[in-house]
Amino acid sequence: MRTLLILLFGLTIFSCNQTQTAQDKIITQNTIVQTQLVKDTLISNIERLFKKALTCDTVEYSNEFEFEKYKSFLFFKSGYILSKTEKNALVVTCPTDSTYTVILYSLQTDQWKLSDSISELDAFPTQFDPIFDDYNFDGQTDLYIQVSASNGWSLSRGHLIIIDPMTKKFDLHKEARDFANMTIDKKSKTIKAELWDGYDLKGRHQLTIFTNKWVNGQLTTTSKKNITIEPNK
């Protein structure tokens, strides 16, 4: 487990340039030491959470509010988070301060086995918010990770990751990256999204509501309509 974590969460160590001054080399060495300390602490925390998750129904940990202080981000959640029949663990961290790595494990014969991982997703840890729901209506819980939420009429955008019900493999849907405020309509099997168009002359919100359906494995806009919403609603 530890070897796997080191490979998946390895942080970049800056190499020393032979032309560096002595002071530059000291600064670089200090950076290497600090980076290694962050990596060791991160791996140690993850190992501790995995051990706890073996005996607890649900374990959840997040340090997004401490990101600016410690420059290290970690989200961990385990339990029957994707189905009622299999225990999984989801780990999200930032190998860099602007990208996420997302890793999924399955519990098999009392051991955590890697199911899949995805890296280099654009990140904004202070607005991190994971949502677990069935976005493609196949009975399998999927994952949405909020990346940003705007001020004013809040528009939440993020990464939509569909999870295969048999293999638990990830399928990142980049076409949904710009869809804001995605909501699921299970009855019509559609995903609604919003676009704020500003105010009218009476100070009311002008919105475009997009209706999206799954077409050939892609979330595709099939219709849209304009609506007006009174302030403070």
Instruction: Judge if 171 and 197 occupy the same domain.
Output: no
Instruction: Judge if 117 and 172 occupy the same domain.
Output: yes
Instruction: Judge if 185 and 151 occupy the same domain.
Output: no
Per-residue pLDDT at 18: 44
Per-residue pLDDT at 46: 85
156 contacts 181 by C-beta, under 8 angstroms: yes
Per-residue pLDDT at 39: 62
DSSP 147-184: EEE-SSS--EEEEEEEE-TTT--EEE-GGGTT-EEEEE
Per-residue pLDDT at 22: 54
Dump pLDDT digits (tens) for 18-42: 445 555 544 445 444 344 555 666 7
Instruction: Judge if 25 and 108 occupy the same domain.
Output: yes
Instruction: Judge if 97 and 7 occupy the same domain.
Output: yes
Give the predicted TM-score (pTM) of the model: 0.82
Instruction: Judge if 7 and 88 occupy the same domain.
Output: yes
Residues of the chain with pLDDT under 70: 1-41, 64-72, 233
Domain that holds residue 201: 179-233
Number of domains in the chain: 2
Instruction: Judge if 72 and 183 occupy the same domain.
Output: no
CA distance from start to end of the chain: 49
- Contacts (Cβ under 8 Å, ≥6 apart) of 143: 90, 102, 130, 131, 132, 160, 161, 163
